[in-house]
């Protein structure tokens, strides 16, 4: 990616998540936020997710179609129709404009119906057809949200990002071509800015050079906003969600959780990896490389400053900034004196795991090389166990490996904070707090940078661990 940051363009990209466009009432709140932004910024573009819950419903619809249940498919499509048309019924628009939007919705739903019919006939769904189905939510939402903004006298138009964000043909996890995307953005979006339009653009989706719909994978809508901000040379990206920025812990488990005013991009990437519902790391990269400001804001509390993401911050202001967790894991260990000094054991271990398609969120190894321990999702642990037993059958038979052990129902807890590297004794504080809370630690992993410390606890101890660590967080 070689999109260089130039002079200020006074451009703001605002991305609204599913809960921010979940109903007509919330969409009208979005319209108010956009109106306020237009008073302060020369150019404003809006990126929207699907309405809350719609993407999950669409992914279930794929399985329903594979099973050949056409009646359920029909009912699901009707529910989508009713939910989106209900928004149009609740706003004031000229009849011709409203009928045009309704016709576009019907065209998209007809395409969805035909795709599901093809999936049903074949009893399978290709990645390409899955992308067509999954993209439906954004394609519907962009038309409805554009109509809502127009009903509040905002000069707007909708754009399917398959026309702008050019990707390869890796369906379900497509990679963007930034140079081609910039050319499309200059051709399509810049003239709209010049005419004082506020474009409303689909998140999550892109398109091949030939216009075939693709999706950008996990975190796709945020990633769309980052891509567009880079190619449009924007000054800032604001991600609008349903919480007051990035929280110091999950407020459902830690009642004292607070909004973190500032985080570095590296800190937020660690939080995202270890379970916090914040930006996916791939969202951050184009923003860092283009030197663009980033904020996480609350649609339902727009006056709150939220969290500002920075490339660096004054780490003297705090040590541990947040604590997060990944639950629903099992812990697996390969142990044996015969592993000592034998090359390739780790490589064979994780090659076997990779062949099962399982992601490993944490690994630790004893210095003596006699134990390799790692965590896997619970739903994958039986498959992983079978793969490892097959891979190391000879070593287990000859007692070079004592066995492959599994501990059920664990969670990874991670403390994050760039300031930890500058403060002696943080690890001691963390594990003393856990000991005082009678929480047993089963495994530990820490990078040399000390941006994060991760450890494994029994899932029944998760809340106690989070509360104990959160009490160590120093106020800015």
Quick: pLDDT tens for 341-371: 667 888 899 999 999 999 899 998 765 557 8
pLDDT for position 316: 53
Residue 261, number of CB atoms within 10 A of its CB: 15
Which range in 57-71, 364-378, 444-458 is most confidently predicted, on average pLDDT?
A: 57-71
| CATH (one of 3.40.1160.10, 3.30.420.10, 3.30.200.20, 3.40.50.1370) for 11-242 | 3.40.1160.10
Which tens digit of pLDDT belongs to each residue from 221-249? 999 999 999 999 999 999 999 989 988 99
Angle between helices 127-134 and 136-151 (to 10 degrees): 20
What's the chain's average pLDDT?
Answer: 90
Domain limits of the chain? 11-242, 322-470
pLDDT, position 31: 98
Instruction: Between 219 and 410, name the one with better pLDDT.
Output: 410
**At residue 104, does pLDDT exceed 70?**
yes
Q: Let me know: does 64 contact 31? Beta carbons within 8 Å.
A: no
Residue 175's closest CA among 166, 184, 183? 166
Q: Which position has the higher pLDDT, 417 or 85?
A: 85
Q: 3 falls in which pLDDT band (50, 70, 90)?
A: very low
Same fold, 11-242 and 322-470: no
- 294 closest CA partner among 239, 231, 220: 239
Sign of CA pseudo-dihedral 97, 199, 172, 167: positive
The number of angstroms, rounded, from the C-alpha of 152 to the middle of its chain's C-alpha atoms is 30
pLDDT in tens, 117-148: 999 999 999 999 999 999 999 999 999 999 99
β-bridge mates for residue 13, sequence order: 45, 237
322-470: CATH superfamily: VC0802-like (3.30.2130.10)
More confident residue, 32 or 291: 32
Contacts of 299 (CB under 8 A, 6+ apart): 16, 17, 19, 20, 26, 29, 30, 33, 240, 241, 242
Please provide residue 171's backbone torsions phi and psi, each rounded to the nearest 5 degrees: -60, 145
What is the rounded average pLDDT of the residues 75-93?
Answer: 97
Closest CA to 23 of 103, 76, 90, 81: 90
Is pLDDT of 4 > 50? no
Torsion of CA 68, 71, 75, 78, to 10 degrees: 90
Percent residues over pLDDT 70 in the chain = 91
Cross-strand pairs, 58:
none
């Amino acid at each position: 990616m070689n999109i260089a940051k130039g002079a200020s363009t006074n451009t703001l990209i605002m991305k609204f998540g599913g809960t921010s466009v979940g109903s007509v009432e919330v969409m009208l709140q979005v319209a108010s936020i956009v109106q306020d932004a237009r008073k302060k910024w020369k150019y404003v573009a809006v990126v929207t997710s699907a309405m809350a819950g719609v993407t999950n419903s669409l992914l279930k619809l794929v399985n329903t179609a594979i099973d050949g249940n056409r009646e359920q498919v029909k009912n699901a499509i009707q529910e989508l129709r009713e939910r989106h048309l209900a928004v149009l019924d609740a706003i004031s628009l000229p009849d011709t404009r409203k009928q045009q939007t309704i016709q576009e919705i019907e065209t998209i739903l007809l395409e969805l119906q035909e795709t599901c019919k093809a999936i049903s006939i074949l009893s399978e769904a290709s990645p390409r057809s899955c992308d067509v189905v999954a993209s439906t939510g954004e394609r519907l939402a962009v038309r409805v949200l554009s109509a809502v903004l127009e009903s509040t006298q905002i000069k707007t138009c909708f754009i399917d990002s398959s026309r702008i964000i050019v990707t390869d043909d890796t369906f379900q996890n497509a990679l963007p071509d930034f140079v081609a995307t910039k050319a499309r953005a200059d051709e399509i979006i810049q003239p709209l800015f010049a005419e004082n339009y506020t474009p409303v653009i689909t998140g999550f989706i892109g398109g091949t050079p030939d216009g075939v719909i693709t999706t950008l994978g996990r975190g796709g809508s945020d990633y769309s906003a980052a891509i567009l901000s880079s190619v449009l040379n924007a000054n800032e990206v604001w991600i609008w969600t349903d919480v007051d920025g990035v929280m110091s812990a999950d407020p459902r488990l830690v009642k004292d959780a607070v909004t973190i005013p500032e985080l570095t991009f590296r800190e937020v990437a660690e939080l995202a990896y270890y379970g916090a519902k914040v930006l996916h790391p791939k969202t951050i990269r184009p923003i860092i490389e283009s030197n663009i400001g980033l904020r996480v804001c609350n649609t339902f509390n727009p006056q709150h400053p939220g969290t500002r993401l920075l490339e660096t911050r004054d780490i003297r202001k705090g040590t541990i900034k947040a604590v997060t967790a990944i639950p629903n894991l099992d812990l697996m260990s390969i142990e044996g004196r015969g592993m000592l000094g034998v090359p390739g054991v780790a490589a064979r271990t994780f090659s076997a795991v990779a062949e099962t398609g399982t992601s490993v969120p944490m690994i630790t190894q004893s210095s003596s090389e006699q134990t390799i321990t790692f965590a896997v999702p619970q739903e994958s642990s039986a498959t992983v166990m079978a793969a490892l037993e097959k891979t190391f059958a000879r070593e287990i038979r000859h007692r070079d490996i004592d066995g492959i052990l599994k501990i059920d129902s664990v969670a990874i807890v991670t403390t994050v904070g760039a300031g930890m590297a500058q403060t002696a004794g943080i690890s001691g504080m963390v594990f003393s707090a856990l000991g005082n809370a009678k929480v047993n630690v089963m495994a530990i992993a820490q990078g040399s940078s000390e941006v994060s410390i991760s450890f494994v606890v029994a899932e029944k101890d998760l809340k106690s661990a989070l509360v104990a660590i959160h009490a160590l967080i120093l106020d800015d």
